[in-house]
Structure formats: C-alpha cells, structure tokens
Structure 1
Amino acid sequence: MTDIQSYDVVVVGGGPAGSTVGGLLARSGHRVLILEREKFPRYHIGESLVTGMTPLMEELGLVEELDRRFQHKSGISLRWGKDPQPWRSDFSSTGSVYSHAWHVTRSELDELMLDNARTLGATVLEEAHVTEVLVADSGAVTGLVYTHAGERYQVDSRYVVDASGQSRVVARRTTETQWQDDLRNVAIWGYYDTFTPIEHGDDILCEAIEGGGWMWAIPLSKDKLSMGLVLPAEQLTELLREGLSQRDIYLRGLAASNIAKTMVNAADTQAELSTARDWSHLSDTFHGPGWVAVGDAAAFVDPLFSSGVWLGSSGAWLAARALNVALADPAHAAHALQRFDGVYRQLFKDILTYVRFFMDPNRLREEYMERAQEVTQMYTTSSRVGFIALISGIGAVADLVDFDPMGMEGLVEVMTERTEQAKARMEAEAAAATV
C-alpha cells in the first residue's frame, strides 16, 4: 500500500544545493520535503570553498559557525603556465569585504546545512530512496514515489527540485545533457596526517604536472591535508593498461610535481586511494513544467577552481527566489524560471569557458589573467582583479544578491501578455455574442 502525501515542493538530495533551496523555500512559508538517500554525516569530496559563497552563507545565518569550525582560505597558490615560478592570488586584493573562504570537511558542512534546512522549516527524510518520477500526460512532473524505513510513499507536489547530484534523478528523464568531451577527467586522492605547509599556509595549491594533469593540496586543518591528482580519463585508462595501479599513477604524478611533493612524504600515502570521475556537462535546460534542477544535476564544471559547491548552492539560491514567484502566482512562473535559468546558465558558462582556456598549461600568466577579465567583462584596468573575481565567484555576487525573478522587464512582459489575452478573450466573447 502506498501512502499519498502532498507538498508545495519536494527536493531530491540534501547536499548544499538541496538544503539551500529547501531551507529558503520553507523559510518563506512553503511546505517543503527534502529526500536524502544517505544518512548524514556522510563522506564527500569537494572540500575547498570560494569567497563568492559568503553572501549566501550570510543569508542562511551560517558564517559564524563556518568561521568557528573550519580552516580559513585566503587565496590560491599556483604553479601553472610557462613561468616556472609559483604565483598567488589573494582574495582580499579584489577590494571585496569577503576576504576569505573556508576549507571544509564536507561531511560536517553538509550536515550543518541540512540541519539548518530543518531549522528553517523543511521536513527532511534521510535514507529515503526515490524510485519513480511522476509525470502527467502533458509532460509535467507532478511528484515522486520513494521508499523510507521499509514503507512506500507517493508525494504529489507543485514542483520537484532535482538536487541529486550526478544521479540526476529528474533531469536524466526530462532533459538532454551535453558532455564536454575535452573535460572528461578522473581524480585520485588521499589524506595525510603530517605535511609541510606552503608559504601561504591556508591557500589551496593547484599545480600543473609535466606530462599532463594537475594536483591539488587542501589544508583542512593543521594535521590533515587533502591531496589529489586529476588526469584526463583517456590518459588514466592508458596507464592502467600498462599495468600501473591507481596508487602507482598517483605516486608518479606526485613525483613529477615541483611543490606538492615537498609537502608530504610519499611513503605516507594511503594504501587505498579514492577515485571519482569529474566529467563536465551542461543540461539543455535547468527547468521544465513542474521541475527545476540545481547543482550537479543541472551542470558540472571541472573542479580546478573549487567552484562546485559555490555553483550548486548559488543556483539553489536563485531557484528558491524563482520558485517563490512561481508558487505565489503561476502566471509569473514561466518568466521567473526562465530568468533563473538564464542567470544560472551564464555562471556555468563563464567558468566552463575559462577552465577550458586555463587547462592549457603552456600560456603566460598574463594571458590567464587577461582572459579572465574578458570572461567576466569587468570594468577594471587590472587583469589581476578580474582573475581573482572570476575564480572566487566575487564577480558574480551582484548578480546573485540582486537577482529578481521578475524585474521591471518581467512585469512589463506579464502585463502585456495579460492585456493581449484579455483583449483576445473580449473579442472572442463579442464574436460569440453576434452569432
């Protein structure tokens, strides 16, 4: 027997994107159900944040707790490009009030954000497994079927938000996905209990490796370092065919580095390393009748600049405001969701365009900075500021904070459409009266 429930919005996935959109909608007075398939806390990669997240964390009331729990991150140190000398970008040099981000233990961050969604009024079910997406004959998504604690439930909702990550529970069925073939990469990573910090000890390190690929090093705390190697999937496959293990490949990349290898003792490398594919993709649309996609369910960009959590949660922030409009007045839904799609898609495209350019490690430092300035279209004479603004998300803060799902243009369009509809209705009624 299936129990039938009813909510305004059901969110699939309780990670940063799902907890953000679910919490904000619940705070606005909507009945929201968040379905998370795992039990938190649970392990997740993606441990370095960017300063562009800070306005949202302020909106959620979490900045003080983030400062208390997690290691600050004040910049990014790179060894990349033709110049063999390392270089650094300091977040504070943009002039923004947001001068630091955080390195986080994702199990803690995600649990913190999901608990916050509960506090804001969302109903949260962990270890809930979605088994079916309900779609009407018209093509509109109308709800879900899920199992929880051995029972089967149907939930009918006005909107379903897909925040299920790479699983793409709803988006897989409702839209096509364009895979970025030149950004099909695989990551191999592990952790070290002892390490030697780089000069700017709270920076993330990104280092291009001779022969292909790049390494990251994230100081999660004084006694824990996350370090990983990212390689093109084809290159990894070829090395595995040669008989190398994933650990062998990682150690070979570490040995080929210039900075990363000075931070750790290779002998301390874990016997078993974690792996994940990070194939960049972009969905054809981020919304449709009855559904919205955010986070990796909508799109994913190579994690070179630690933009994943920022992109996912920022899109959720945009989606919450658009859905507030759509729920309040369905006549405004199409315009509000289209504006959400347009702004969110541009964030992805800006990062995707730049990552694709930056992946060539044979350019001059000035080229990387000048291209970043072009991508963000910043009105500044400093290409250095443009670079930091792009990779930190600061350049998009105004678009996110000031996002209005309707705007004056939207109101004009809606009023014009309503006027035309009313005129057509009156003409039809007049014609019928004369028959």
Structure 2
Amino acid sequence: MQHFDVVILGAGFGGSLTALLLDRIGLSVALIDRGKHPRFSIGESSTPAAGYLLQSLSQKYDLPQFQPFCKYGTWQQACPDVACGVKRGFSYFVHQPDLRFQTDTAHGSELLVTANLSETLADTHWYRADVDEFFAKQVQNSNVLYLDQTEILLQRTDGWQISGSRNGEEVSLQAAFLIDASGAAGLVPRALGIRPQTEFATRSRAIYGHFRDVKLWDEVLEQNQVDRSDYPFACDLAALHHVLQEGWMWQLRFNNGITSAGLVLDERQAGMDWRQMLARYPAIEAQFAEASVVGPETGLVTTGRLQRGWTQCAGNDWALLPHTAGFIDPLHSTGIAQTLCGIERLVSVLEQHWKTDSRGDQLADYSKSLQIERSLIDGLVACCYRSRFDFNLFTASTLFYFAAATSFEHQRSQEQKQPLFLCADDSEFVRTVDRWLQLVSDWEQQPRFAKAEIRQAVEQAERMLAPWNRVGLFQPAVPNMYYYTAAPELEPR
C-alpha cells in the first residue's frame, strides 16, 4: 500500500492544478481519475477574474507553464496547439417566438458588455478536451502519482483507504486527506452520507453539445440588415447569449472550428427538446441549418435539473472543490473563476494549517465559504430568469452580476483584498440581491407591466447597486453598449 498526504479524485483542470500546487508546498500527492484524456467536457467560458486568479497562482507557486492561459494573445504565442476561443465579453440578444430577430436604434434587444481592451488581452473559452489534457500532462511530468482509468472504493479508517483496480491491476492507497474534484459524481460526500442541498431559487435544465458549421450570429444580423456599428466588439467573440421565452442559449466559439452551444431552459415552464426549441426561433434555427453535432460521441446531452449542492463541503480530513460542492447554472460563466478561487483558498489552508490544531476550523470556514458563494450565484442567476419577460429588466438583473464581478476584480487587483468569490462575504450586497430577487419574482407574476413602471424599476435597480457600481453601469454612452468594465490590468500579488 502506498501512503500519501493527499489523494485527489478527478483529473479535470481543477483536480490537476490542485495536485500541482500541493506538490509545490511539499505534500505527497496522488491524483486518480476514472476516465482518460482527451475527453468531452463542458464548462468553458473564462472571465477576467479567472485570468487574474490563474496568473496569481502560477506566479506564487512557480508554475510558469500556466501563465500563457491567462490571456488569448499569450495563449496563442505559447500553446497554439491547445484549442481555445476569443472572449471579448458578454453579448445578449432577446428573441420572440416565431418572429425574426428585431432591434431598434436604442438597442432594445441587444446588450454587449466588454471585459477587456483588445483581442490580444482577451479572456478565453477553454476547449476543455485540450485544456484538461494539458493540465493532466503537467501532473504526469511532476512528482505527483497519476492514475487514470482507475475504479476505486473509499473506506474511512485512520485517514482514507482507496482500493480498486487499474487496467486489471490492484490499486491500494492510503491518504491522510482526501480532495474530491469529481464534480457531480460527489464521491466523498456520498461515501460519508452528507445530505444534499435541495432548495434553490433557480430551476433549470440543459441540452448541449459541440457543433461544427454553426453560422456566425453576425452573419445572421447582416442578412437581417441589423446595424452593428455601435457594437464594442464582434458579437460572436464573446459568451453569446440568446435570451428566449423559455430560457436562453449559450454559444462559445473555439479556434478549431467547433462551437459549444446549449439551451438552458426554465424547468418551471419548458418541456421542449432541441429541435422543437430551434423551430420556435427562426434566426437561431438559421444558425444551425448546416450544423452537425461532433461531441460528445453519443450525441446531445439532455440533463435533469442542473442545481445541486451538499450541506457540508469539508471536514477535518476531506474537502470538495467548488464544482463538486455544487452547481447552479452556466448563465454568468462563474465556473472556472469560482473553481480557481476555491483552489486558492483550500491550498492556502493546507499550506498554513496542515499540522496545526486550527486546520479543522479553517476547513469549516472553507466549507461555509463555498455555500455562501453558491447561494449568491443562485440569487444572481434567478434574478435573470425571473426578469426575462422584459429585456430592460433582464438587463438590469445582469448588471447585479457585473457589479459583483467588477467589485471582486477591483478588490483583488487594486485594494489587495481577498474577498469571497463575487464578494459573497459582503452581507449588504447579498441582502441587496435578495431584495431585487423578491421584486422581480413579484413582478413576474403580474399579468401586465407598463413601460413607465419598467423604467422606474430599472431606476430602482440603479439606486440599489450604487455602492458597488464602480464602472458606470446603467449609464453607458450608447444604450446597452458597455465599452469596458473590467478592473484595470495590474500585476497580481
């Protein structure tokens, strides 16, 4: 039997990065994965916060091979064979069923929010099959024991015993500490009998896959003679959102010709499949007229309810990474950044408290932090779902997320603070989001809403967000066109 300080379950980018960081601080580490790379994976849209966190971690723990992944320009220079996509920001387009896409001079059906100043400095969409494989290869070239294609059983005795088989050979490991990076599988909480969380404000399910030959949305707009001269960036070079009566669609384009696309449907009202949904929206259907599914090999993935979580996320000898601890919805592209934020926090705890009596308390704080972040993300996403009936209200709801994201970026890069992800430890901001969620939930139930009432509601949102509005939200020079919102580029600590 081999003995390790830490065994990590799951070799996505989060598990692999955590293994490398723990190796850097002097712990003995094994990384175990049930599958092998490369493989299809979803969760691909990065943000300025994610780039900053990855840069900070790679500098602090001397892992320079990850520095290029922080920006599109450096990624293309250093690792052009690892596929990714340009992400200049977020773009949103609202559609009405059975009608061609229409807008007006005030951009009443469009919202574009810029996150970076140029394509070179742009954030990225991570083509996870390539990215996860790259991270895993770094593990294989390190001191970490890497075991893929391994089936395991967990037993908690004095520490953890991990037994199983790999390619017909017996595997037997013992670990003082176990980290679960297995995502929805939740191997550790299931083994421990931890209760799942079941109460969420968001209710959504998804249908998704990877496609080839998805027509550019810009081409569809051109064909419909939509003026794009006010756009701060090419609308497809973004996390592109189509806002629908039943939910929304994401589109993320990679530089290998593949597009990640998915429908995320409000479970309270949507029962249609992929083809039925596209048939409802002619402009989107035109995008997919010649498209073909290329991943996963089994075809489009159809999920049940996306929202999940655990009521405890760490103990004295175990911890969950954020994506294992829970998930809400892909609407605000929070996954990569929250994972990196959680890894930073967990590795710091183990580095500073590995052999101290304070480790249990620190891990309890880590567990609580993941639950607090998950709750805030749930509220921010639910606000958008419940305000979809009017695009002005939906836009106001998205600005609650952008206020949180930019405040977090400013605090990390300029004020040298380490808040919880999206400032989830700011109790006044959390209460403000809760109040807005209650308001939009009440308005959603009203049969009619006059334009004057909508305008007053948006003005109310602006007043509510004033303490966290650092970047001119609600007052762009061109309606619904935000030319730059991220924190200034600074070197991380």
TM tier relative to shorter chain: 0.7 to 0.9
When residues 64 and 282 of structure 1 are mapped into structure 2, their CA distance, relative to the original with a 3 A threshold, is same
2: CA distance between counterparts of 1:22 and 1:300? 22
Among 171, 176, 189, which residue is 1:158 paired with?
A: 176
> Post-superposition shift, 1:340?
2.5
Deviations 1:233-266 (A, max 9, x none): 5656x54xxxxxxxxx212222333653343326
Q: How far apart are 1:203 and its partner, in Å?
A: 0.9
Structure 1 residue 301 and structure 2 residue 328: aligned?
yes
Point out where structure 2 has 5 or more consecutive residues left out of the alignment. Answer: 70-74, 97-106, 219-233, 405-421, 424-428, 430-466
**Normalising to structure 1: TM-score of the pair?**
0.75
For 2:351, the aligned partner's letter is N
CA distance in 1, matches of 2:37, 2:309: 28
Alpha-carbon distance in 1 for matches of 2:240, 2:116? 17
**Matches for 1:67-146 after TM superposition, within 5 Å:** 67=76, 68=80, 69=82, 70-80=84-94, 84-92=108-116, 100-135=122-157, 141-146=159-164
Task: Tell me if structure 1 keeps the 8 A contact 2:212–2:291.
Answer: no
| Residues 167-224 of structure 1 deviation map (CA, whole Å, 9 limit, x = unaligned) | 10001233222124553433222412252243423112112222x1211111112632
Q: Is the 8 A contact 1:318 1:340 kept in 2?
A: yes
Q: 8 Å contact 2:35–2:150 — kept in the other structure?
A: yes
Give the AA of the match of 2:469.
T
Contact 1:71–1:103 (CA<8 Å) still a contact in 2? yes
What is the aligned counterpart of 2:42 among 31, 38, 45?
45
Distance (Å, rounded) in 2 between the aligned partners of 1:281 and 1:330: 32
Question: How far has the Cα of 1:36 moved from its partner?
Answer: 0.7
Name whichever structure is richer in helix by fraction: 1
- Contact 1:208–1:215 at 8 Å: present in 2 too? yes
Q: For the residues of structure 2 that align with 1:158 and 1:221, how far apart are their CA atoms?
A: 42
Quote the sequence identity (%). Answer: 20
Residue 171 of structure 1 contacts residue 297 of structure 1 at CA under 8 Å; is this kept in 2?
Answer: no
Aligned residue for 2:207, secondary structure, equals strand
Q: Tell me, yes or no, if structure 1 residue 312 matches structure 2 residue 330.
A: no
Q: How big is each residue's C-alpha offset from its partner over 1:341-395, in whole Å with a ceiling of 9 and x where there is no partner? A: 344333323222101111121242553155333785464354629999xxx9978
From the CA coordinates, give the structure whose radius of gyration is larger. Answer: 1
- Per-residue Cα deviation, 1:77-113 (whole angstroms, up to 9, x for no partner): 01259985111111138x9xx9532112211011111
CA distance in 2, matches of 1:184, 1:366: 20
Judge which range, 115-124 or 77-86, deviates more: 77-86
| Corresponding residue for residue 432 of structure 2 | none
Amino acid at match of 1:64: P
Q: Out of 382, 392, 398, which is 1:356 matched to?
A: 382
Measure, in 1, the Cα distance between the counterparts of 2:124 and 2:25: 28
Q: Is the 1:209–1:253 Cα contact (8 Å) retained in structure 2?
A: no
Residues 213 and 290, structure 2, Cα contact 8 Å, conserved in 1: no
Larger deviation, residues 225-234 vs 159-168: 225-234
Equivalent residues of 2:316, 2:363 under 8 A apart: no
SS of 2:187's partner is coil
- 1:101-142 per-position Cα deviation (integer Å, ceiling 9, x unaligned): 211221101111122233443211111112223245xxxx53
Distance 2:201 2:475 in 1: 25
* 1:178 is the counterpart of 2:197: yes
**CA deviations over 1:286-341 (Å, ceiling 9, x no partner):** 111311111322111211122223222331222111122232x2312123223323
Q: Which moved more, 1:33-42 or 1:360-369?
A: 360-369
- Give the aligned residue type for 2:130: E
| Partner Cα distance (2:146, 2:470) in 1 | 48
Quote the Cα distance in structure 1 between the aligned partners of 2:303 and 2:340: 21
Aligned residue number for residue 25 of structure 1? 22
The aligned residue for residue 265 of structure 1 is 289
Distance of 1:222 and 1:142 partners within structure 2: 42
Assess if the C-alpha contact under 8 Å between 2:249 and 2:262 holds in 1.
Answer: yes
Give yes or no for the alignment of 1:187 onto 2:245.
no
Equivalent of residue 473 in structure 2, options 373, 384, 387: 384
Matching of residue 339 in structure 1 with residue 380 in structure 2? no
Q: What's the CA shift for 1:8?
A: 0.3
Q: 1:432 — aligned with what?
A: none
How does 1:209-224 map onto structure 2 within 5 Å?
209-210=244-245, 212-221=246-255, 223-224=257-258
Counterpart CA distance in 2 for 1:178 and 1:386 is 39
Matched, 1:367 2:364: no
Q: Determine if the alignment matches structure 1 residue 287 to structure 2 residue 314.
A: yes
CA contact (8 A) 1:295 1:312 kept: yes
Structure 2 letter corresponding to 1:23: L
* Change over 3 Å in CA distance of 1:366–1:192 after alignment to 2: closer
1:63 is matched with: 67
Tell me: CA distance 1:345–1:278, structure 2 relative to 1, closer, same or farther (3 Å). same
Q: Distance in 2 between matches of 1:347 and 1:39?
A: 30
Look up the match of 1:244. Answer: none
1:354/1:80 CA distance change after superposition, 3 Å: farther
**Which range moves more in the overlay, 23-32 or 355-364?**
355-364
Larger deviation, residues 160-169 vs 332-341: 332-341
CA RMSD across the alignment:
3.5
Q: Secondary structure at the match of 2:112?
A: strand
| Superposition deviation, residue 10 in structure 1 | 0.3
Q: Which amino acid aligns with 1:207?
A: H
Q: 1:338 to 1:269 in 2, by over 3 A?
A: closer
Paired residues of 2:328 and 2:378 also in contact (CA < 8 A): yes
Q: Which runs of no fewer than 5 residues in structure 1 stay unpaired?
A: 240-248, 403-435
Tell me: CA distance 1:344–1:385, structure 2 relative to 1, closer, same or farther (3 Å). Answer: farther
Once structures 1 and 2 are overlaid, which stretch shifts more, 195-204 or 260-269?
260-269
Cα offset for 1:160? 0.4
Give the alignment's TM-score, normalised by structure 2: 0.67
